Copies of this chain bind each other. A is one copy, B any other.
């Protein structure tokens, strides 16, 4: 095998499902809304949105914390927000030596996008 890439194998506590049923098909149930709202809430903070955007815009689709931590808040706060994004399933992380790298979770983000696109019409 030529590819030595190591899969994270992290398995976030609650397996983040593909995401969400279509938004305009039928009214959300309380449970569906509870689950889906967490993802939107994760992006509903300016600092988290900047961090997420910084990761998404970074080359190779991943970014070290040290590369994106200049968003005007302290370093513990950056770590706190990255954890939130990870819990929401939008980011995944992997430690390689000294640094920790974060990357966008494409399937979850794409599902959120489809959810909105469907609602628009």
A interface residues with partner B (beta carbon < 8 Å): 23-30, 33-34, 36-38, 40-50, 52-54, 56-57, 61, 68, 71-72, 104, 106-107, 109-110, 112-117, 119-121
With beta carbons under 8 angstroms apart, the residue of B26, B36, B46, B116 that contacts A33 is B46
- Interface of A, helix, strand, loop or mixed by DSSP: helix
With beta carbons under 8 angstroms apart, the residue of B27, B54, B121 that contacts A53 is B27
The reply to whether A30 and B46 contact each other, CB–CB distance below 8 Å, is yes
9 other A-B residue contacts (CB within 8 Å) besides A30-B71, A33-B47, A113-B119: A26-B57, A27-B57, A33-B50, A37-B48, A40-B43, A40-B44, A56-B119, A106-B120, A117-B117
